[in-house]
Structure 1
Amino acid sequence: MELISKRYGRSPFIVIFIMMMLKMLLFRHFVFQGIQADRLLTDAASILTLLLVTELVTSAKWRGTVFHILNAVLSLLLFASTVYFSYYGTVPTYTALHGLDQVLQIRTSVGSIIQASFYIYFVDLIVFTVIFIVNRIKGIRSDGSRRIARPRIAVVAFILSIAISGGYIWSGSAIPNEIVQAESLGFLDYQVAAAINAKKEKDALKNGSVEETAASADALQVSYFNQAENAVEAGTPNYFGFAKGKNVIVIQMEAFQNFAINLSVGGKPVTPVLNGLAKESFYFSNFFQQIGQGNTSDAEFMSNTSIYPTGVIAMSTGYGDKVLPSLPRLLGGHGYESNTFHINDVSFWDRNRMYPALGFTKYYDKPSFENDHFNSFGASDEELYRVGLEKLQALKQQKKPFYAQFVTTSSHHPFKVPSAQQRIAMPDSLQDTQLGDYLTSLNYTDYALGEFIKGLKASGLWEDTVLVAYGDHSGLQTKDNDPAWVSEQLGINYDGEVSRFNIPLFVHVPGAEGKVVDQVGGQVDIMPTVSNLLGVSLKDEGYTAFGQDLLNTSHNVIGMRYYLPTGSFFNNDILFVPGKGFEDGTALDIRTRKPVAEFSQYRADYDYILELMKLSDDYVRLLPKRAP
Structure 2
Amino acid sequence: MERISKHYGRSPFIVIFIMMMLKMLLFRHFVFQGIQADRLLTDAAAILTLLLIVELVTSAKWRGAVYGTLNAVLSLLLFASTVYFSYYGTVPTYTALHGLDQVLQIRTSVGSIIQASYYIYFIDVIILAVIAIVNRIKGLRSEGRKRIARPRITAVAVILCAAISGGYIWSGSAIPNEIVQAESLGFLDYQVASAIKANKEQAALRNGSVEETAASADALQVTYFDQAGTAVEAGSPNYFGFAKGKNVIVIQLEAFQNFAINLSVGGKPVTPVLNDLAKKSFYFPNFFQQIGQGNTSDAEFMSNTSIYPTGVIAMSTGYSDKVLPSLPRLLGEQGYETNTFHINDVTFWDRNRMYPALGFAKYYDKPSFKNDHFNSFGASDEELYKVGLEKLQALKQQNKPFYAQFVTAASHHPFKVPSGQQRIAMPDSLQDTQLGDYLTSLNYTDYALGEFIEGLKASGIWDNTVLVAYGDHSGLQAKDNDPAWVSEQLGINYDGEVSRFNIPLFVHVPGAEGKVVDQVGGQVDIMPTLSNLLGVSLKDEGYTAFGHDLLNSSHNVIGMRYYLPTGSFFNNDILFVPGKGFEDGRAIDIRTKQPVAEFSQYRADYDYILELMKLSDDYVRLLPKRAP
Note whether the superposition's TM-score is higher than 0.5: yes
Structure 1 position 141, deviation (Å): 1.6
For residues 346 and 137 of structure 2, the distance between their equivalents in structure 1, rounded to whole angstroms, comes to: 51
Find the counterpart in structure 1 of residue 290 from structure 2. 290
Secondary structure of 2:576's counterpart equals strand
Structure 2 matches for 1:288-327, cutoff 5 A? 288-327=288-327
Secondary structure of 2:351's counterpart equals helix
The two structures have a TM-score, normalised by structure 1, of 0.99
Is the 1:252–1:405 Cα contact (8 Å) retained in structure 2? yes
Find the counterpart in structure 1 of residue 558 from structure 2. 558
The two structures have a TM-score, normalised by structure 2, of 0.99
Deviations 1:442-465 (A, max 9, x none): 000000000000000000000000
Is the 1:2–1:135 Cα contact (8 Å) retained in structure 2? no
Structure 1 position 232, deviation (Å): 4.2
Find the counterpart in structure 1 of residue 105 from structure 2. 105
Secondary structure of 2:291's counterpart equals coil
Find the counterpart in structure 2 of residue 260 from structure 1. 260
Letter aligned with residue 174 of structure 1? A
For residues 33 and 167 of structure 1, the distance between their equivalents in structure 2, rounded to whole angstroms, comes to: 25
In the alignment, is residue 127 of structure 1 matched against residue 124 of structure 2?
no
Is the 1:61–1:145 Cα contact (8 Å) retained in structure 2? no
Secondary structure of 1:507's counterpart equals strand
Structure 1 position 333, deviation (Å): 1.6
For residues 578 and 108 of structure 1, the distance between their equivalents in structure 2, rounded to whole angstroms, comes to: 33
Structure 2 matches for 1:595-606, cutoff 5 A? 595-606=595-606
Letter aligned with residue 87 of structure 1? Y
For residues 12 and 128 of structure 1, the distance between their equivalents in structure 2, rounded to whole angstroms, comes to: 10
Structure 2 matches for 1:330-479, cutoff 5 A? 330-479=330-479
Find the counterpart in structure 1 of residue 248 from structure 2. 248
Deviations 1:59-78 (A, max 9, x none): 12111100000000000000
For residues 147 and 291 of structure 2, the distance between their equivalents in structure 1, rounded to whole angstroms, comes to: 49
Structure 1 position 54, deviation (Å): 0.6
Deviations 1:142-181 (A, max 9, x none): 1334322222221121111011000000000110000000
Is the 1:42–1:189 Cα contact (8 Å) retained in structure 2? yes
Structure 1 position 231, deviation (Å): 6.4
Is the 1:10–1:146 Cα contact (8 Å) retained in structure 2? no
Find the counterpart in structure 2 of residue 520 from structure 1. 520
Letter aligned with residue 170 of structure 2? W
Secondary structure of 1:468's counterpart equals strand
Find the counterpart in structure 2 of residue 59 from structure 1. 59
Secondary structure of 2:234's counterpart equals coil
For residues 400 and 467 of structure 1, the distance between their equivalents in structure 2, rounded to whole angstroms, comes to: 17
Letter aligned with residue 297 of structure 2? S
Secondary structure of 1:286's counterpart equals strand
For residues 300 and 197 of structure 1, the distance between their equivalents in structure 2, rounded to whole angstroms, comes to: 27
Deviations 1:40-72 (A, max 9, x none): 000000000000111101112111100000000
For residues 29 and 476 of structure 1, the distance between their equivalents in structure 2, rounded to whole angstroms, comes to: 23
Find the counterpart in structure 1 of residue 229 from structure 2. 229
Find the counterpart in structure 2 of residue 592 from structure 1. 592
- Where does structure 1 lack aligned partners over 5 or more consecutive residues? none
For residues 109 and 4 of structure 2, the distance between their equivalents in structure 1, rounded to whole angstroms, comes to: 42
Secondary structure of 1:551's counterpart equals helix
Is the 2:222–2:231 Cα contact (8 Å) retained in structure 1? no
- Where does structure 2 lack aligned partners over 5 or more consecutive residues? none
Secondary structure of 1:230's counterpart equals coil
Deviations 1:577-627 (A, max 9, x none): 000000000000000000000000000000000000000000000000100
Structure 1 position 2, deviation (Å): 2.4
Superposed CA RMSD in Å reads 0.7
Deviations 1:79-134 (A, max 9, x none): 00000000000000000000000000000000000000000000001111122222
Is the 1:11–1:146 Cα contact (8 Å) retained in structure 2? no
Find the counterpart in structure 2 of residue 270 from structure 1. 270
Deviations 1:366-418 (A, max 9, x none): 00000000000000000000000000010011111000000000000000000
Secondary structure of 1:156's counterpart equals helix
Deviations 1:187-239 (A, max 9, x none): 00000000000000000000000000000000000001111111643211000
For residues 7 and 38 of structure 2, the distance between their equivalents in structure 1, rounded to whole angstroms, comes to: 31
Secondary structure of 2:103's counterpart equals helix
In the alignment, is residue 480 of structure 1 matched against residue 480 of structure 2?
yes
For residues 9 and 317 of structure 2, the distance between their equivalents in structure 1, rounded to whole angstroms, comes to: 44
Secondary structure of 1:500's counterpart equals helix
Deviations 1:485-532 (A, max 9, x none): 000000000010000000000000000000000000000000000000
For residues 232 and 445 of structure 1, the distance between their equivalents in structure 2, rounded to whole angstroms, comes to: 37
Deviations 1:555-585 (A, max 9, x none): 0000000100000000000000000000000
Between 1:486-495 and 1:151-160, the stretch displaced more is 151-160
Which ranges of 4 or more aligned residues in structure 1 deviate by more than 6 Å? Answer: none
Is the 2:169–2:190 Cα contact (8 Å) retained in structure 1? yes
For residues 237 and 139 of structure 1, the distance between their equivalents in structure 2, rounded to whole angstroms, comes to: 83
Structure 2 matches for 1:16-55, cutoff 5 A? 16-55=16-55
Is the 1:11–1:147 Cα contact (8 Å) retained in structure 2? no
